Amino acid sequence: MTGSLTIRAALVSLLLLAAFLGLWHLGTMGSGPAADMDPEYAKLMGQTATQGTSAMPGPGAVGAQLWHHLADPFYDRGPNDKGIGIQLAFSIARVFAGYLLAVLVALPLGFLIGMSPLMNRALDPYIQILKPISPLAWMPLALYTIKDSAISAIFVIFICSVWPMLVNTAFGVASVRREWLNVARTLEIPPVKRAFTVILPAAAPTILTGMRISIGIAWLVIVAAEMLVGGTGIGYFVWNEWNNLSITNVITAILLIGLVGMVLDQALARLARLVSYPE
Amino acid sequence: MSGPLISIEGIARRYGGPAIFEDLWLGIDRGEFVCVIGHSGCGKTTVLNILAGLDKPSDGVVVVDGKAIDGPALDRAVIFQGHALFPWLTVLGNVAYAVGARHPDWSRAKIRAHALDYIRLVGLTGAEGKRPSELSGGMKQRVGIARALSLEPKMLLMDEPFSALDALTRGTLQDEVRRLCHGTGQTVFMITHDVDEAIYLADRIVLMTNGPGALIAETVVNPLPRDRDRLNVHRHPDYYALRNHLIDFLVTRSRSFKDEIAGLAWDRRHPPAVRPSATPFVHP
């Protein structure tokens, strides 16, 4: 029964969550005030030694902070105090900009590589060398040549999301079934129409797989890029809060990064289902 | 119009090594249903691909209606062995795609109506909104037939169209193809492995010897009446003479044919036309 399986799975998920939160709570609640201590010495030692409480916040504290952030996500009180919604919006905007640029480059180029064995062979060594480079390694070069940290972050997103899309598009286009192309040939379909009405729909599921991998990587990379670039964005927020030693805010941000990543992935998964076809 | 509709004139095909076949000559008349029989590797699919324009001969030409062909064209429709439908389109979408390619100037409504006509012709009315993945193998091949016929081609090329189907479905589809092609005087070039299929459908059966260096051994004129009927075809007095002749060829002569003609002056342009019969045939 799928119905009961869903219910049981949900139950197990909830139990795991409860167990995790319970352990977290136990692990951070501390052991109560320590033995008498000279007040001067206690000041030096900090809370962990004197109160027995951990600097690591418990689930309650994180929950309260999360609620605090979500209650007013879009306030702006100067460069170092912006609502978490604004920070996430900056990150998402950068990801979209770099990602769209990558789509614009990767899809046509992937088509070319997929359709032309010559270009496939000629460009293959470059792709093989460029693909494994960590996108952050490009950052200094980007900062030096572009001379704008915001655009450099977008460039880093572009360079990391272009490869999976390029490789998948080329593969999808090159492996369109021979007989479908033969049908198009016997119907005298002109090349441009053939690309859009036969090759594109045939390769679409493979292309979308590449796009889904890319959006995942882009979201991974934006956090690291913003830690380097600074200024705005969820990555900068995490780094800033680490410098403030606000572990509560760091954990809150981690949760939200995961949530946004999931939403982006599911959106692409839904798009992939739209263009997939059973054979 | 004089002369055959299609004239294969001295074509050869080589892939580096020795020719699969060379200096092949064959004429096909308007309205004729021709089946080619031969073992795998004799190059019969290559001949069909050359007729379709999907492959090019290393030598020789194919002339259709007075013009040498140069690549694929809409006047030669192909029914592929593996149906080759687009899985992202519906039945109607697949047929309409072909109709739209044939008649780019037609309105959407006219294309749709024309496509629906041919879907009805192959008995798939009601399934036009389905995707190929929702259809059985036989129904998919019906869509393939509808797509090819909707082009109203000069010539229909079929590459073992029913070999992937079960026997019962194959029989039904053979009936359909007979009805559709003989009724409209469609010219057909069909490849098959199935002797009974050739006997039932063909006006003329072309026998190809084994490759490499395959050649047309003879063309067999089907002695059965044109309005033959699947259930009674085996009762015709000439049936077994024809069937035995074909099977003899496939079993032994296709292999040893080169010895058979060794030393004879063999005219590749005019392979003998044979008409198997229960009563010994006397050349006039």
The ipTM assigned to this model is 0.88
What span, in angstroms and rounded, lies between the C-alpha atoms of A90 and B14?
63
**CB nearest A186 (choices: B52, B86, B133):** B52
In the numeric block, the tokens 């198009």 are attached to A184
In the numeric block, the tokens 């580096």 are attached to B16
**pLDDT above 60 (res B281):** no
Contact B209, B42 (CB under 8 A): yes
First to last CA, chain A: 27
In what helix (H) or strand (E) does residue B62 lie, and over which residues does it extend? strand B59-64
What span, in angstroms and rounded, lies between the C-alpha atoms of B69 and B81?
23
CA distance A178 to chain B (A): 9
Grouped pLDDT means (10 residues each) for chain A, 279 residues: 84 96 87 68 67 77 89 84 90 96 96 94 94 92 91 94 96 94 94 94 96 96 91 92 90 94 96 91
What span, in angstroms and rounded, lies between the C-alpha atoms of B236 and B223?
9
| AA identity, residue A59 | P
Q: Closest-CA residue in chain A for B148?
A: A187
Least-confidence region, from B87-91, B145-149, B194-198, B257-261: B257-261
Q: Could you say which DSSP state residue A39 is in? A: H
CA distance A273 to chain B (A): 12
First to last CA, chain B: 27
Count Cβ atoms below 10 Å from residue A218 Cβ, excluding itself: 26
Buried b vs exposed e over B129-160: b needs ≥16 C-beta within 10 Å? eebbeebebbbbbbbbbbbbbbbbbbbbbbbb
Tell me, what's the pLDDT at B16?
A: 82
3-state secondary structure of B76: strand
pLDDT band at B141 (very low <50, low <70, confident <90, very high): very high
Tell me, what's the pLDDT at A50?
A: 64
Tell me, what's the pLDDT at A270?
A: 96
Torsion of CA A201, A276, A115, B148, to 10 degrees: -50
B84 contacts in A (CB within 8 Å)?
177, 179-180, 182-183
Q: Check A279 against B87: CB less than 8 A apart.
A: yes
| AA identity, residue B204 | R
Nearest CA to B165 out of B153, B173, B154 is that of B173
**pLDDT above 80 (res B36):** yes
Where would I find the H helices in B185-282?
195-201, 239-248, 254-260
Q: Check A187 against B98: CB less than 8 A apart.
A: yes
pLDDT band at B267 (very low <50, low <70, confident <90, very high): confident
Contact A220, A51 (CB under 8 A): no
Tell me, what's the pLDDT at B149?
A: 92
**CB nearest A187 (choices: B80, B88, B101):** B101
Q: Check B77 against A186: CB less than 8 A apart.
A: yes
Q: What are the C-alpha distances in Å from A80 to residues A222, B139, B191?
A: 19, 67, 77
CA distance B84 to chain A (A): 6
Percent of chain B with pLDDT over 70: 98
What span, in angstroms and rounded, lies between the C-alpha atoms of B44 and A267?
50
Residue among A180, A181, A187 with most chain B CBs within 10 A, to mutate:
A187
Tell me, what's the pLDDT at B1?
A: 46
Nearest CA to A187 out of B148, B87, B74, B95 is that of B74
Buried b vs exposed e over B208-231: b needs ≥16 C-beta within 10 Å? bbbbebbbbbbbbebbbeeebeee
Tell me, what's the pLDDT at A216?
A: 96
Q: Check A277 against B53: CB less than 8 A apart.
A: no
